A and B are shown apart, each in its own frame.
Chain A
Amino acid sequence: MKLDVSDLAFGYPGFPVGQDVSLHLEAGEVLCLLGPNGCGKTTLFKTVMGLLPPRGGRIAIGGRAMESLARPELARLMAYVPQAHAPVFPYSVHDMVLMGRTAHRGLFAAPSKGDHEAALAALEQLEIADLATRDYTRLSGGQRQLVLIARALAQESPFILLDEPTASLDFGNQLMVLEQVRRLAADGKGIVMSTHDPDHAFACGTRALAMKDGRTLANGPVAETLTGEVLSSLYDVPVEILLAGERRICLPAI
């Protein structure tokens, strides 16, 4: 299954944010979206998720045009992992993950036994089954992020969008989340992830899209796309790329 975004123009009514963005993603790939604050990453995400109508261009999932998909159909094809946040009410971790099953059930249905099992399986896959009975609101940021990823897993969609999954996490939790992202891709999920750290793209990305002022600066496989030159002009700071064995490392010159 493929996610195809071609020549997309996006923004709000009367307020264009970006244009000429294309991205093509297959199962098993991790596309990292990089760009300075305010470059339009969030707006692009909202458009790709169908929350904002595109101002131009096309979005197709598995060959089907976005406009032709109803909300539940879209949710079965694409899951969204927001930044770890706290909802108003202290749902249990199990209930939070269970909500990922919503698109698989009828309008009036409550979760079935199979849904409970799917939620538990998703928690087990992320090795956080022991959190199931805890209140989501009382977890640490890293744990919350994992729970939201488990919810996306329970949604059983071929594609997952992650909005800065490592934001406001400590160093260890960042690596834990990146490791899970890599595993999901290995299991055949197609992943789009926005991040502020080029090293995260080097750690788990297969493709990268560098965006500035709503336009594509560079797009392609990570190693060829995120060069010192591109990153320097992307963030307006001099950046060098070092090689540590096979692994690339981003070194800002300060």
Chain B
Amino acid sequence: MVSGPTVTGRLAFQLWLLAAAVLALAVAAVMTGPYQASLGDLLQAVARYVGLQSAAEGGPGTIDTILFGVRIPRVAAALLTGAALAGAGAVYQGLFRNPLVSPDILGVSAGAGLGAAFGIFFSLPVFAIQGLAFVAGLGTVGLVYLVATMVRSYEPTLVLVLSGVVMGALAGACLSLLKILADPYDQLPAITFWLLGSLAAIRPQDVWGSLPAVLIGLLPILLLRWRMNVMSLGDEEASALGINPRRLRLILVMAATLMTAAVVSIAGVVGWVGLVIPHIARLLVGPDFTRLLPTAMLIGAGYMLLIDMIARNLTTTETPLGVLTAFIGAPVFIWLLASGRRGWS
């Protein structure tokens, strides 16, 4: 885990390699499915799409509709979801100085789940359900932060985590109430399915709606990438090294929450990714956040894509993402714990 200018080149090479692997996986994902498309089909469709080649008579064919209406948006959503969750997870783990923390520790998923269930309960249109999930996710974390600030303490992170647990439980209780009141044949399955996460119904506009929020959240995290390291030493040392930890924590929590809420609102609650992927990235490139963040986001994107490919190809009905990430994440996590806690101590 050498640092310094001498190894920056090697790291950049590793990142490019990782990015190329993710891209190759994305191309493969676009081609596979019930309707198989060859690389030639894909290239021709792209050429038609950008106007290099005139469309066949009678407008765009089936293949164009499948690729641009369904597959590419779905692949893009998977990449976006994985990258955002893994990036947010890396931020949260550093901020809370705990490698067992996941992006929903402050209740963003619980809040988003409640918001979406609310939307489904009142039979609102899809965009309203997504909007409610987004706003409720952000609102819950805002509330958690407010409660934590009102409780003056010399252990601000602990208070923050505990009020996150409390608010998450409260949101869970409200969700249970909604589930009992919901129509068991129509609404209840929809709520349950949403809570397990799925990209099956993703539309191009969902991706375009979510992307700006992810980028806005990512910007401060990228800019403060070095200070994230200092923050992970704890408030006292960070202060002594010239940082204002309270202010920085607020900015970083809000940024990571924005990223999480933006993808959870379109993909549903997908657990484990934000917890396990930063771990794996830390094993590969060490804890320095300037290297950890891009690595975690790339691995997260590739992992989510792989999971989604399994979800849509494993059985004839879609398998919920949250089920798959748990089935894979839990044993991987146990293995990480058993293999001597490398990457943290």
Contacts and interface: CB of A to CB of B under 8 A. Distances in A.
Contacts of B229: 91, 95, 99
A133 B230 CA distance: 18
A103 B241 CA distance: 6
B226 A102 contact: yes
Contact of A95 (B94, B99, B241, B288): B288
Interface stretch (B77-85, B231-239, B329-337): B231-239
A109 B226 contact: yes
B290 A75 contact: no
Contacts of B225: 110
Given A88-B98, A89-B94, A135 B1 contact: yes
Contacts of B288: 91-92, 95
B243 interface: yes
B223 A108 contact: yes
Interface residues of B, number: 36
A89 B232 contact: yes
B233 A87 contact: yes
A62 interface: no
Contact of A99 (B223, B241, B244, B286): B241
B226 A110 contact: yes
B232 A95 contact: no
B240 interface: yes
Contact of A75 (B1, B98, B241, B282): B241
Interface range for A: 35 or more
Contacts of B290: 110
Interface centre among A49, A75, A132 (most CB of B within 10 A): A75
B232 A88 contact: yes
B242 interface: yes
Given A89-B232, A110-B226, A76 B287 contact: no
Interface of B: 1-5, 94, 97-99, 154, 223-227, 229-230, 232-234, 236-237, 239-244, 282, 286-288, 290, 343-345
The 3 closest A-B pairs by CB, nearest first: A103-B242, A75-B242, A89-B287
25 contacts: A71-B239, A71-B244, A72-B242, A79-B240, A82-B236, A87-B97, A88-B98, A88-B232, A89-B282, A90-B286, A90-B287, A90-B345, A91-B229, A92-B2, A92-B286, A94-B3, A94-B4, A98-B3, A102-B230, A102-B241, A102-B242, A103-B241, A110-B225, A110-B290, A133-B2
